[in-house]
Structure 1
């Protein structure tokens, strides 16, 4: 603990906020029975620890305070996770202890400084702390933040967090940050082409009662594989029916609501439906644009549904979907 003292004398003992992304189970472990664990962490570390509201598969834990209180809070979380790992191992046959893993949520504008020129900073952190550090290549959905995953022994993680805090204080975020907010677990259900889909993350996944039907379909189209090896959550990935193409024409004045600003809406529809969607260039003298959708019949019907939903909301003035 020597160097915290040195750092606080060096004027680094300022208030900072660190955000962590956790799964429900991890959050449960931090909160503890009747909130006892988190209460103890708040009291002993002196840091403010806030946990985003429930019913999301992921939650954000925000730790705010002078740097030394943040390090204490982090240490308590890392040791608590290690304790959970040890407890879960006593019930299993695993012999090697998996590392503790924490996920920080960091504004993308600060990630460059964390990585350093040619990866020099992140390499130095890995070597000096012994922790594994990875910065996600993509931003978290609907935000300008990235996940930074740190794994290793609690001691290595604490050292690594200290170094990350130093970098974050030396290079504050540039511009406005759109914070990542986990989506609630209640997923909307979409009906398309006689099938029900739920939206999970960026994918439309056939609704549970549809899974079995789709699974049977997938099974008929592939050489038989033992059930254990297929992935029912994404049926037909290993056995996608032949791709087909469907064409639509859309009035020119409505094409904008489907494309969205800088292509955001059309990209969303592409991701959700899993279909390829090409929009033809405007033809002189024609008041319509051709849209070509390619993919499996299920992908196409979902893409059509999403396009129609966009049009309906535009025409009826319902605003965005």
Structure 2
């Protein structure tokens, strides 16, 4: 695929975010890449061996940043080989982190899209079968020459622009400890089983301390043997009204989105039937205050993204 095709589709003025998994040190290189590419580049903090590099900007700045990263990796490979007898140069490998809901489009029907990418760019592309721990993202590994990688990233960007992620994405966060914490809407949640459970501030602070000190049993795992007997706050009910024309984006096709919200929030959600002459629908959310606030948050995301 010719790079010009991407430009003619207006791909170059669209802002896109690409996430990349890296090992190792940051600092000067990143500063230089920011200045030269014009993209926003952020690196996750933390004492984890893995770092997430987030590159955001118009697609042409993303390609520049990727070109710089790919050439930098190649340079590192060449430098590390200067004292080894090996003559063939190993390929450069980058790992992207992509929402699982977009991976189907990257692979294509029966693998057609990924095959076409491999053939037209000469890069190796692999999409991991499993999601990364505690997230709804998958790793996409690209390896080849820097030139092949840049071409391949271009094509992946086009696919990601054409099929945006569906539903809420739980981002992968590399963690040195065992209880993941998700921050959303200023509130922290831990994942227990398939539910996101709001995390009181004290726990978050303890957790942050724990991250800096020796590992210990995360507090989240001291759940009582009889779930009914724990001191959970009593269930309460909250009502929302939503305009009729927005109700579809909350329910989703055959109820997929509303089920996702129920599952992530742990709340019960009932949507009233349309009332004659009314332009709004009533939504009743039942659960602990924490479940309700998470359900509201997820509903708001759906509405604001429309």
Superposition TM-score tier, normalisation by shorter sequence: 0.5 to 0.7
Cα distance, 1:225–1:266 mapped onto 2, change above 3 Å:
same
Matches of 2:176 and 2:157, distance apart in 1:
30
Coordinate RMSD, CA, aligned: 11.5
**Aligned residue for 1:178?**
170
Corresponding pairs, count: 306
Instruction: Give 1:158 deviation, angstroms.
Output: 0.1
1:292-318 Cα shifts (integer Å, max 9, x gaps): 99999999999999999999999xxxx
Instruction: Give 1:184 deviation, angstroms.
Output: 2.3
Matches of 2:11 and 2:300, distance apart in 1:
58
Whether the 8 Å contact between 1:273 and 1:302 is mirrored in structure 2 is yes
Whether the 8 Å contact between 1:222 and 1:239 is mirrored in structure 2 is no
Confirm or deny that 1:135 pairs with 2:127.
Answer: yes
Instruction: Give 1:162 deviation, angstroms.
Output: 0.2
Structure 1, unpaired ranges of 5+: 24-31, 315-321
Instruction: Give 1:99 deviation, angstroms.
Output: 0.3
Deviates more, 1:120-129 or 1:231-240: 231-240
Whether the 8 Å contact between 1:143 and 1:180 is mirrored in structure 2 is yes
Instruction: Give 1:36 deviation, angstroms.
Output: 2.2
Matches of 2:216 and 2:45, distance apart in 1:
45
Matches of 1:73 and 1:37, distance apart in 2:
11
Whether the 8 Å contact between 2:40 and 2:56 is mirrored in structure 1 is yes
Cα distance, 1:179–1:227 mapped onto 2, change above 3 Å:
closer
Whether the 8 Å contact between 2:272 and 2:283 is mirrored in structure 1 is yes
Cα distance, 1:219–1:181 mapped onto 2, change above 3 Å:
closer
Cα distance, 1:253–1:14 mapped onto 2, change above 3 Å:
closer
Matches of 1:33 and 1:239, distance apart in 2:
44
1:69-126 Cα shifts (integer Å, max 9, x gaps): 0000000000000000000000212221100000000000000000000000000000
1:156-185 Cα shifts (integer Å, max 9, x gaps): 000000000000000000000000000126
Q: Secondary structure at the match of 1:96?
A: coil
Whether the 8 Å contact between 2:127 and 2:139 is mirrored in structure 1 is yes
Cα distance, 1:306–1:190 mapped onto 2, change above 3 Å:
farther
Matches of 1:184 and 1:295, distance apart in 2:
32
Deviates more, 1:204-213 or 1:171-180: 204-213
Instruction: Give 1:54 deviation, angstroms.
Output: 3.0
Matches of 1:120 and 1:296, distance apart in 2:
46
Whether the 8 Å contact between 1:218 and 1:236 is mirrored in structure 2 is no
Deviates more, 1:277-286 or 1:34-43: 277-286
TM-score (norm 2): 0.57
Matches of 1:161 and 1:313, distance apart in 2:
26
Instruction: Give 1:10 deviation, angstroms.
Output: 3.1
Q: Secondary structure at the match of 1:236?
A: helix
Matches of 1:235 and 1:97, distance apart in 2:
57
**Aligned residue for 2:272?**
280
Cα distance, 1:233–1:197 mapped onto 2, change above 3 Å:
farther
Whether the 8 Å contact between 2:41 and 2:55 is mirrored in structure 1 is yes
Deviates more, 1:95-104 or 1:6-15: 6-15
The structure whose Rg is larger is 1
Instruction: Give 1:38 deviation, angstroms.
Output: 1.1
Instruction: Give 1:48 deviation, angstroms.
Output: 0.4
Instruction: Give 1:59 deviation, angstroms.
Output: 0.7
Deviates more, 1:1-10 or 1:60-69: 1-10
Instruction: Give 1:39 deviation, angstroms.
Output: 1.1
Cα distance, 1:88–1:192 mapped onto 2, change above 3 Å:
same
Cα distance, 1:283–1:138 mapped onto 2, change above 3 Å:
farther
TM-score (norm 1): 0.54
